[in-house]
Amino acid sequence: MSSELLQTVKSPAVNSPHRTFPLERTRNIGIAAHIDAGKTTLTERILFYTGMIHKMGEVHEGTTVTDWMEQERERGITITAAAISCFWPEKKEQGLVKLFEGEKFRINIIDTPGHVDFTAEVERSLRVLDGVIVVFCGVAGVQPQSETVWRQANRYKVPRIAFVNKMDRIGADFDKVVEEIRTKLDGYAWPVLLPLGKEDQLRGQIDVICQKAIVYTDNDRLGSTYVITDIPEEYQAVAREAKAKLIAALADRDEAIAELFLEEKEPTPLEIKQAIRRLVVKNEFVPVVGGSAFRNKGVQSLINAVIDYLPSPLDIDPPKGQHPYTHAPVEVIVSDTSKFCALVFKIWSDPYVGKLVFFRVYSGILRKGDSVYNVRTGKRERISRIVQIQANERKDIEVVYSGDIAALVGIKEVATGDTLAAEGFEVSLEPPVFPEPVISMAVEPKAQSDREKLSHSLQRLMEEDPTFRVHTDTETGQTIISGMGELHLDIITDRLRREFGVSVNAGAPQIAYRETIRKHAVGEGKLIKQSGGRGQYGHVILEMVPLERGKGVEWESKIVGGTIPKEYIPACFKGIQEALSAGILYGSPVIDLKITIIDGSYHEVDSSELAFKMAAIFAVKDALKKADSYLLEPIMKVEVSTPSEFQGDILGDLTRRRGKILNVETKGNTSIINAEVPLAEMFGYVNDIRSMSKGRAAYSMEPSHFEEVPIHIYNALLDQKKK
């Protein structure tokens, strides 16, 4: 394997002779960003320049390929991550150096949503991607959802390129955005392609490494025609300085460049690119590209950067697998010749074909007619249909290879995060992690005859969206749906009407509160029933201790000597789980505590799984009464962008909403206010902020953490519930 290009050499040992594109010429990338940074527009341009489409669509016209849902086209936002494949020839261009000249590459792209309500789509996409383009607005810079996306990419160790978009807009500041990536996101980010000009003078890009200008011709509004030329004199000093800083930055992280740096030798463009690729793959460097997707300037160079710098499936560490029962590490080798192993990252209810199961193949080959083993359920299923997804189009294919992203039709028992493998290959891959819902509301069908249809439809929506939950209120019998925000639930009810033909009446949104405990407590639960014949007997003693905020729920058994037979322990855990789903204060889920079963007793004849499950429920309720339970509410991270003249009014309003002001920044005549505000106080904020700012302010918010509900709010909630 070449030390310079990692595993980019031809690898016949890992590639099937039948695959069209070898693994080293495959790129699985995502496009992610804050809402309205230009992700979908960028995707549309990439598809146009790669020849996948012959006419560019526009988000504001509702004509883009990846925003294919009716709701997406009406609202101009991305709701569901769309997968699409395209192909890019790395052709020789006079004056520019490429790492892979003359080769054709396959790029699998997933365009993800920017709105925080659909963050699960970003989470599961990043879990299965090898690289990501993080898009930033040249005017707004690093925004709240930019930070969320960056953290998600850090969690899954995804290499990335930063694209500073909208450099044609008034107020765009490339250098400021690069500095914010370094300071706010802790990204080791350095420009490789500078914008040539800005605002209405944006003409193209400066290739920092090759010291050339890429200038787009004014008479080609599609941006397909450009020339490689010398850098205009007024930009030469800036370009030289950018190259010197880039080489110094690389020398700090890369040995080969450091040696040349110490010997006072300037590395060649090829050596610089090889060093950048090494560091990007190791997640130690972020190349930054400036341009404007909407004005069609700089997209082709960005695609070249994707090919040059982002990894193939061979370049990154193999996925971490473990045995599903012993949890011992299991090696998954990325190769067509290995045993089949894939991760299900998304499920989608298609009105024409039924359940679509999206999966990423990590090793081996899967053919139509093969059987796969679901490691979680232990069941085997035969594959009757494999489809390649091109946004909302389906193309039937016969086989998928390692590194491919595709979908299955016809699999029944499967969930997001499941590992599909060859039978006998006992391996479980790390599933994506999803946030908990923060908002709920009651729904009921407008026509009583639709009650069963509603239940079935909600079940299908819950299967495809891990952040969407449905339960029945035990007191009122109402169907309660929970999600990540008002928009999320609004889209759900809209989909019920359009896709499933069920119109619903929806109640006012409610906060998804949580309960937790302050202190250690011991609880005891007994179920003793004797009414002639066989009775019921279960007896459980457990202890409960608080955990740090955000730790979730843990439970274990310390039963020794068989005071509770081991076959009843799983039933006890089921009872604990059920009891914690509805606490004693407000009926909310209980979080951040550890429960240990420490003792109990059984009856040789009358004990049963049901008896021990009920005894565990009683024991949990008993402990919660003694553990000083209290209520938690979701706190949102809020960023408001407003003309400075309205800053005072907006600050005062946020304070009245129990908000905690974190900081206020000034960018030109715009104030950026960052605050933490309880979600309960943010309903209807969109209308209030419009009236306060004459429609000129905007805001975004995302879940931050949970905090204790103030006592006067808690008492008001209890009074409201009693009514």
Binding residues for GTP: 33-40, 111-115, 165-168
Which secondary structure element, helix H or strand E, spans residue 675, and what is its range? strand 670-678
Residue list, annotated binding site: 33-40, 111-115, 165-168
Evaluate the CA torsion angle 117, 121, 124, 126 in order and state its sign: negative
Residue 673 has φ and ψ, to the nearest 5°, of: -105, 125
CA pair distance 666, 637, nearest whole angstrom: 18
Give the three-class secondary structure for 295.
coil
Residue 134: closest CA among 187, 86, 203, 175: 187
- Helices (H), ranges, 550-607: 569-580
Structure-token pair, residue 604: 């040789």
Produce one character per residue of 675-713: b if its CB has 16 or more CB atoms within 10 Å, e if not.
bbbbbbbbeebeeebeebbeeebbbbbbbeebeebeeeb
Cα separation of 98 and 212, whole Å?
Answer: 13
Q: 593-601 and 536-546 as β-strands: parallel, antiparallel, unpaired?
A: antiparallel
CB 362 within 8 A of CB 332: yes
Q: Which parts of 432-473 fold into alpha helices (H)?
A: 451-464
111's tokens = 């365009």
Query: What one-character-per-residue DSSP string does 369-407 give?
Result: T-EEEETTTTEEEE--EEEEEETTEEEEESEE-TT-EEE
Could you tell me how many helices (H) and strands (E) the chain has, helices first? 16, 37
Do 382 and 416 touch, CB atoms closer than 8 A?
A: no
Strand partners, 143: none
Q: Beta strand 341-350 with 329-330: parallel, antiparallel or unpaired?
A: unpaired
